[in-house]
Amino acid sequence: METFWTNHLNARLSYARQEVEDRTTHKTLSDSPAHLVKLNLTVPVMPDKLFANLESQYTSERLMLTPLARPIVDPHAGAFGVLNFTLFSHNLVKGLDLSAGVYNLLDKKYSDPATPFHQQDLIAQNGRTFRVKLTYRF
């Protein structure tokens, strides 16, 4: 992970590469992306009080669990990228923190591989969602 910080910008980039396989069969495990990339950019809106964060996440394709009775042409869940945006405070008022976020900002349609307990091969994930969080410490 690489972090760049100035008084006006905090940037963080991370990358993970993995190869996950079953130790017995030596086959790739389902729902295990080979590449994960995350980029975070944070800027102060009100110095030391209110910040804006833009996060980009990328996940490479993942193998689906496909029963042999139902072979499909491409047994992979597609790669996808999402953007998230959050406004957050630190001690906006003594002991009070507030955050408001929009996740999957561009409303990207993507699916994750299902488990053996599901009837479908892929499970559609949420589109754009919103969250507001208020924390008070005393």
Q: What is the pLDDT of residue 70?
A: 57
- How far apart are alpha carbons 8 and 105 in whole angstroms? 23
Structure tokens at 10: 């905090």
Q: What is the pLDDT of residue 6?
A: 60
Residue 113 CB-density burial (10 A; 0-12 exposed, 13-18 middle, 19+ buried): buried
Q: What is the pLDDT of residue 94?
A: 87
User: What pTM was computed for the model?
Assistant: 0.80
Q: How many domains in the chain?
A: 1
Instruction: Tell me the per-residue pLDDT of 66-105, one tens digit each, with 9 for 90 and over.
Output: 655 456 677 889 999 999 999 999 877 888 999 999 999 9
- How far apart are alpha carbons 73 and 87 in whole angstroms? 43
Q: What is the pLDDT of residue 25?
A: 87
Its domain, for residue 109, covers: 2-136
Instruction: Tell me the per-residue pLDDT of 20-65, one tens digit each, with 9 for 90 and over.
Output: 888 898 888 888 899 999 999 999 998 888 999 999 999 999 988 7
Q: Mean pLDDT across the stretch 109-138?
A: 90
Residue 138 CB-density burial (10 A; 0-12 exposed, 13-18 middle, 19+ buried): exposed
* Total residues found in the chain within this entry: 138
